[in-house]
Amino acid sequence: MLLGPERRLVVRYAKRLRPDGLVVLTAGNLSVRSGDLVAITPGSFDYDELTPERICVIGLDGSVAEAPLAPSSEVPMHLGVYDAVPEACAVVHTHAPFASALSTVVDELPALHYLIAELGGPVRVAPYATFGSNELAENVARALEGRTAALLGNHGTIAFGETLEQAYSRTLLLEWLSALYLRSSLLGAPRLLAGEEIELVARKLSRKGAPAGSSPPSGSAPRARAPGRARPRARAAAPRRRESPR
């Protein structure tokens, strides 16, 4: 079985998505890259029934290496991140409720808490495009320039990391920050932190070492390459379960 350890890791974190309140039903997807191969969740498959053998393995060009089910419909978005950010080794995409709600009303999650420095600074909202499309993949790549996470307009979240643990932790942080912003906005206009303060926090985190699983400080956030044409989706046999938007 190709990428056995990576497939087991994908299953472990995929099974956390619903208990952690980051998705409903079969929404969301995650992947881990190892060399020129990527282990990614299948499309529209119940997480409770997921096993390492059911995880798909594709190439960075979208070709199928080993896939008993059809890979996630968001293959272009995952491959777009790996193409734009060579340091990325894991990607997590969710429909986290607070972050998804926020993505419908703002163009950017501002710096209302110093921990946003762990995501590289204020979090951009990638313009809406149909799920699974090359347009969405390109919008996401642009939103991630100098950042490690982004909101997807009228859709959800995306975060990457050098490990799946790190990408998942950034997703949880993004959801927490989104909830904080929405709640504080009910009380009035949140006081925002200046860019200089976020840079100072980033330097302090860099000196002391960021918490395990956290993203790098804003001054050292990986820089995404300008997006080109997204890689084509992998072709595989139709999934054995009912398709639903991812």
Q: DSSP class of residue 1?
A: -
Rounded Cα distance, 32 and 37, in Å: 9
Q: How many CB atoms lie within 10 A of CB 112?
A: 17
Alpha-carbon dihedral 198, 203, 208, 213, rounded to 10 degrees: 60
Enzyme catalytic residues: 74
DSSP-based three-state secondary structure for 30: strand
Rounded Cα distance, 152 and 128, in Å: 7
What's phi and psi for 40, nearest 5 deg?
-140, 150
Question: Residue 39 carries which side chain, given as an amino acid letter?
Answer: A
Rounded Cα distance, 11 and 220, in Å: 30
134-143 helix and 75-84 helix, angle to the nearest 10 degrees: 40
200: tokens are 């100072």
Residue the block writes with tokens 């990457």: 160
User: Is 181 within 8 Å of 112 (Cβ atoms)?
Assistant: yes
**Radius of gyration, alpha carbons of the chain:** 17
